[in-house]
Amino acid sequence: MEPNMSTEYLDIANLENSNVEQGRPRSEAAETPDITLDTDLKFRARNIDVFYDTNQALFDVSLDIGDNAITALIGPSGCGKTTFLRCLNRMNDVIDICRVTGSVELDGDEIYTDKVDPVLLRARVGMVFQKPNPFPKSIFDNVAYGPKIHGLAADKTELEEIVVNSLKKAGLFDEVKDRLAEPGTGLSGGQQQRLCIARAIATQPEAILMDEPCSALDPIATARIEELMGELKESLAIVIVTHSMQQAARVSQRTAFFHLGTLVECGETEQIFTNPHDDRTQSYITGRIG
Amino acid sequence: MTDILDKIDSKALHDWNSPENRRRVQKRYARDRLLKIAGLTAIGLAVLLLGILVTSLLYSARSAVTQSMVELEYFIDPAKVSRDAPERGSYRSIVKKAVLTHYPEVTNRRQQRKIVKILSGGVSYLVRDHVVANPDVMGKTISLKLPLSDPFDQLNKGVIRRDLPENQRRVSDKEIAWFDVMVKKDLIHNPINWGLIFNNDSRRPEVAGLRGAIVGSFYILLVCFLISFPVGIAAAVYLEEFARKSRMNDIIEVNINNLAAVPSVVFGLLGLAVFLGFFGLPRSAPLVGGMVLSLMTLPTIIIAARAALKAVPPSIREAALGMGASRHQVIQHHVLPLAMPGILTGTIIGLAQALGETAPLLLIGMNAFITSDPGSIMEPATALPTQIYSWADSPERGFTSRTSAAIIVLLGFLVIMNTVAIILRQKFEKKW
Categorize the per-residue pLDDT at B373 as very low, low, confident or very high, splitting at 50, 70 and 90. Answer: confident
A134–B323 C-beta distance less than 8 A: no
Does residue B151 have a pLDDT over 50? yes
Exposed (0-12), middle (13-18) or buried (19+): which is B265, by Cβ within 10 Å?
middle
Provide CB contacts within 8 A for A21, sequence distance 6+: none
Provide CB contacts within 8 A for B220, sequence distance 6+: B286, B289, B290, B293, B354, B361, B381, B383
Q: Indicate the number of domains in chain B.
A: 2
Within this chain, do residues B245 and B99 fall inside the same structural domain, yes or no? no
CA distance B47 to B51: 6
The reply to whether B172 falls in a domain is yes
Q: Which comes out higher in pLDDT, residue A86 or A288?
A: A86
Within this chain, do residues B178 and B103 fall inside the same structural domain, yes or no? yes
Q: What is the mean pLDDT of residues B43-54?
A: 96
Coil, helix or strand at residue B77? coil
The reply to whether B381 falls in a domain is yes
Q: What is the pLDDT of residue B289?
A: 94
Within this chain, do residues B229 and B172 fall inside the same structural domain, yes or no? no
- Percent of chain B's residues with pLDDT above 90: 46
Categorize the per-residue pLDDT at A289 as very low, low, confident or very high, splitting at 50, 70 and 90. Answer: low
Q: What is the pTM of this model?
A: 0.81
* Sheet with A109-110, edge to edge strand ranges: A55-66, A41-52, A98-106, A109-110
Does residue A159 have a pLDDT over 80? yes
Q: What is the mean pLDDT of residues B304-310?
A: 94
Exposed (0-12), middle (13-18) or buried (19+): which is A10, by Cβ within 10 Å?
exposed
A185–B316 C-beta distance less than 8 A: no
Domain boundaries, chain A: 27-285
CA distance B300 to B264: 13
Taking Cα atoms as reference points, which of B355, B335, B115, B320 lies closest to residue B223? B355
Q: What is the pLDDT of residue A254?
A: 92
Q: What is the pLDDT of residues B261-294, one digit of tens each?
A: 899 999 999 999 999 999 999 989 999 999 999 9
Pairing relationship of beta strands A125-128 and A109-110 according to DSSP bridges: unpaired
Does residue A21 have a pLDDT over 80? no
Under a CB-based contact definition with an 8 Å cutoff, are residues B176 and B185 in contact?
Answer: no
CA distance B232 to B295: 10
Within this chain, do residues B153 and B220 fall inside the same structural domain, yes or no? no
What is the span of the domain harbouring residue B302?
Answer: 211-428
Q: From A86, which residue of chain B is nearest by alpha-carbon distance? A: B322
Nearest to A123 among B319, B324, B430 (CB): B324
B338–A136 C-beta distance less than 8 A: yes
Provide CB contacts within 8 A for A20, sequence distance 6+: none
Within this chain, do residues B167 and B242 fall inside the same structural domain, yes or no? no
State which of B130, B160, B191 marks the end of a domain.
B191
- To which CATH superfamily is domain A27-285 assigned? P-loop containing nucleotide triphosphate hydrolases (3.40.50.300)
* Sheet with A125-128, edge to edge strand ranges: A125-128, A207-211, A237-241, A70-74, A254-259, A262-268
Cα A64–Cα A69–Cα A73 angle in degrees, nearest 5: 60
Does residue B9 have a pLDDT over 80? no
* Sheet with B141-147, edge to edge strand ranges: B141-147, B69-75, B188-189
Q: What is the pLDDT of residue B57?
A: 92
- Range with lowest mean pLDDT among B82-91, B124-133, B250-259, B356-365: B82-91
Under a CB-based contact definition with an 8 Å cutoff, are residues B120 and B149 in contact?
Answer: yes
Under a CB-based contact definition with an 8 Å cutoff, are residues B341 and B429 in contact?
Answer: yes
Amino acid, res. A34: D
Within this chain, do residues B168 and B238 fall inside the same structural domain, yes or no? no
Q: What is the pLDDT of residues A80-124, one digit of tens each?
A: 899 999 999 999 888 888 999 999 999 888 999 988 888 889 989
Does residue B426 have a pLDDT over 90? no
Provide CB contacts within 8 A for A274, sequence distance 6+: none
Taking Cα atoms as reference points, which of B59, B60, B67 lies closest to residue B149? B67
- Nearest chain B CA: its distance from A87 CA (Å): 12
Question: Which chain A residues touch B338 with a CB distance below 8 Å?
Answer: 136
Within this chain, do residues B172 and B234 fall inside the same structural domain, yes or no? no
Does residue A23 have a pLDDT over 70? no
Instruction: For A86-150, give the secondary structure using H, E and C.
Output: HHCCCHHHHCCCEEEEEEEEECCEECCCCCCCHHHHHHHEEEECCCCCCCCCEHHHHHHHHHHHC
Q: What is the pLDDT of residue B385?
A: 94
Q: What is the pLDDT of residue A24?
A: 42
CATH of the domain at B264: 1.10.3720.10
Nearest to B323 among A94, A122, A185 (CB): A122
Q: What is the pLDDT of residue B3?
A: 55
Q: What is the pLDDT of residue A26?
A: 45
Looking at the DSSP bridge assignments, the partners of residue A183 are A138
Q: What is the mean pLDDT of residues B145-166?
A: 89
Exposure class string for A208-227: b at 16+ Cβ within 10 A, else e:
bbbbbbbebbeeebbebbbe
The reply to whether B4 falls in a domain is no
The reply to whether B71 falls in a domain is yes
Length of chain B, in residues: 432
Q: What is the pLDDT of residue A37?
A: 62
Within this chain, do residues B221 and B133 fall inside the same structural domain, yes or no? no
Categorize the per-residue pLDDT at B430 as very low, low, confident or very high, splitting at 50, 70 and 90. Answer: low
Q: What is the pLDDT of residue A216?
A: 82
- Nearest chain B CA: its distance from A116 CA (Å): 13
Within this chain, do residues B282 and B181 fall inside the same structural domain, yes or no? no
Q: What is the pLDDT of residues A186-211, one digit of tens each?
A: 899 889 999 999 999 999 999 999 99
Within this chain, do residues B143 and B215 fall inside the same structural domain, yes or no? no
A146–B323 C-beta distance less than 8 A: yes
